[in-house]
Amino acid sequence: MANILVVDDREDKLLALDSILADLGENVVKAKSGREALRYLLRNDFAVILLDVNMPGLNGFETAKLIRSRARSESTPIIFVTSLSDSERNIAEGYALGAVDYMLTPIVPEILKTKVGVFVELYRKTAKVKEQAAQLQQIIVEQKSAQHEIHNLNQELEARVVDLSAMNKELETVTYSLAHDLRAPLRSMQSFAHMLLEDYSEKLDQQGREFARRITESSKRMDTLLEDILSYSLLTHTEFEHNSIDLEEIVAGVIDQLDRDVKEKNAEVNVEHPLDNVIAHRATMQQVLLNLIGNALKFVPAERTPSIRIWTQKRNSRVRISIQDNGIGIAQYQERIFGLFERLHSNDDYPGTGVGLAIVRKGVERMGGRFGLDSKEGTGSCFWLELPKAEGENC
Ligand code: ADP
């Protein structure tokens, strides 16, 4: 309910105004003098003030002046009530004092109700806008505090990332040293086992020879693993120089390296010439392709003849290199296989260390490229990597 203040020194007029305004259903507060009105205004907010001009003591204008001088009521609408005979002089003065309207006596009830109703409506709308503004302000304050919190969390996270990167680097250094230092004792184990088989073969019985053979085999596997770990670690430590790479030459070199395997499996390797050149780190590129083509040869069912297709496609400023095989394919966990030591097959089915694709991932990332694969279980996989196109290559 909104408050309406009616100020008149005459009780009968106050009652008349009250009964007219009762229809509006608001709270009508009656004051018999300017002073009494000011007391009400000290403690309450009003939608509108109906102020009689002719009052003993503080008249309407003096009361209006005092109402306007207080912060709480400086903009409360005032309607002066004046008689027709005084209207000309009073209306001008009333407006000068900040009146928003005036009413002439005798009052016409409908006009009074309409005018007061308009101010009550305005008061309600203003209150609503104020409330919404306060809510908005609250939201802004909350958002600012949330932003502040996010900023702090981000800073904390950044600090943690720095710490973690340092720890990671340290770990990789330890891994590198370990892999490096383990090779010497392993070599000596390998050569002693070899000597046992070569020079003491006759002194050993069948089981002794089998044990020595197993030592040789296991140490060979361990050597491959250490070599892979070293290659992986080196990718972090080496400073890369990126150059224009002749992909034809690199691919030919890699296929040459795999020649024995290709021949043994009677594999078909189709390179679709010409291959587009890329910007890359030469040794890393060799290693990446060796792993991908090696896997394409390896992960093929024994009864199937491996068939590999290698080609490039220009994609805006990049070149996509694809290696497709007709192997066993990959059903799920496609992302996972690029993680270190992640394997989907046992060593008995397909020998390996689980480092090859981790090298591919790290190598391609360090060369500023992207990688991925499309694969269907049973029918084969197509691994791809994208690298910046070498200059001078046309789209
Ligand atoms: P590794 O070859 O030493 O096992 P990789 O890191 O090269 O390790 O590969 C991880 C795993 O991803 C493999 O063990 C295999 O399960 C799967 N994989 C990789 N390449 C292929 C492929 N061409 N076809 C099917 N599976 C593959």
Q: How confident is the model at residue 100 (pLDDT cuts 50, 70, 90)?
A: confident
Q: Work out the average pLDDT over 189-202.
A: 92
Which numbered atom of ligand 1 lies nearest the CA of 354? 8
Choose one of 347, 357, 385 to mutate for the ligand 1 pocket test, by most ligand atoms within 8 angstroms of C-beta.
357
Statement: residue 332 has pLDDT above 70? yes
User: Ligand 1 centre from 343 Cα, in Å?
Assistant: 6
Bridge partners, 51 (sequence order): 7, 80
CA-wise closest residue to 41 among 10, 68, 11, 12 = 68
Task: Confirm or reject: Cβ of 327 under 6 Å from ligand 1.
Answer: yes
Give the pLDDT band of residue 329 (cuts 50, 70, 90): very high
Does residue 45 carry a pLDDT above 80? yes
pLDDT at 268: 97
CA of 182 to the centre of ligand 1 (A): 25
296 lines ligand 1 (CB under 6 A): yes
Q: Is the pLDDT of residue 95 over 80?
A: no
Question: How many other C-beta atoms lie within 10 A of the C-beta of residue 389?
Answer: 21
- Helix-then-strand count for the chain, H and E: 10, 12
Among 119-123, 135-139, 269-273, 373-377, where is mean pLDDT lowest? 373-377
Does the pLDDT at position 333 exceed 80? no
Block residue for tokens 């919190």: 149
Q: What is the DSSP letter of 275?
A: P
**DSSP class of residue 374?**
E
Using the mean position of ligand 1's atoms as its centre, give its distance from the Cα of residue 36 in Å. Answer: 93
Dihedral of CA 121/122/123/127: which sign? positive
- Give the C-alpha separation, 33 to 17, whole Å: 15
Model confidence pLDDT, tens digit, residues 379-388: 999 999 999 9
pLDDT value for 84:
65
Question: Strands 370-376 and 307-315: what pairing?
Answer: unpaired
**Residue 172 pLDDT class (50, 70, 90 cuts):** confident
Share of the chain above pLDDT 70, in %: 97
What are the residues whose beta carbons fall under 8 Å from the beta carbon of 363, sequence distance 6 or more? Answer: 235, 281, 284, 285, 287, 288
d(CA 88, CA 211): 126
Kindly state the average pLDDT of the residues 91-100.
73
Q: How many CA atoms lie within 13 A of 146 on its CB side?
A: 6
Measure 269 CA to ligand 1 centroid, in angstroms: 19
Alpha helix segments (H runs only) across 258-371? 259-264, 282-298, 356-366
Does any ligand 1 atom lie closer than 6 A to the CB of residue 336? no
DSSP state of 107: P
Mean pLDDT to the nearest integer, 142-165: 95
User: Residue 85 pLDDT > 70, yes or no?
Assistant: no
Residue 197 has pLDDT above 70, yes or no: yes
> For the chain, what is the mean pLDDT?
91
Instruction: Specify the residue for token string 């694809």.
Output: 322
Does residue 252 or residue 172 have the better pLDDT? Answer: 252
Residue closest via CA to ligand 1's atom 21 equals: 295
DSSP bridge pairs for 315: 318
Nearest alpha carbon to residue 357 among 291, 298, 290, 283:
291
CA of 357 from ligand 1 middle (Å) equals: 7
Report pLDDT for 52. 94
pLDDT band at 394 (very low <50, low <70, confident <90, very high): very low
Predicted confidence (pLDDT) per residue in 222-273, tens digit: 999 899 888 888 887 778 888 899 999 999 999 999 999 999 999 999 999 9
Question: In a mutational test of the pocket of ligand 1, which residue from 235, 337, 360, 375 has the highest number of ligand atoms less than 8 Å from its CB?
Answer: 337
What per-residue confidence (pLDDT) applies to 87?
A: 66
Q: Which atom of ligand 1 is nearest to the CA of 357?
A: 6
Q: pLDDT higher for 138 or 349?
A: 138
Over residues 305-318, the mean pLDDT reads 96
Q: How far is CA 141 from CA 136, 137, 138, 170, 309, in A?
A: 9, 6, 5, 43, 61
pLDDT, position 16: 94
Residue nearest atom 13 of ligand 1, based on CA coordinates: 343
Q: What is the pLDDT of residue 395?
A: 41
pLDDT at residue 101, as a whole number: 82
- pLDDT value of position 82: 84
Comparing 138 with 392, the larger pLDDT belongs to 138
Among 235, 287, 295, 346, the mutation site with the greatest number of ligand 1 atoms within 8 A of its Cβ is 295
Task: Ligand 1, residue 358: give the atom nearest the CA.
Answer: 6
Is a pLDDT exceeding 70 seen at residue 366?
A: yes
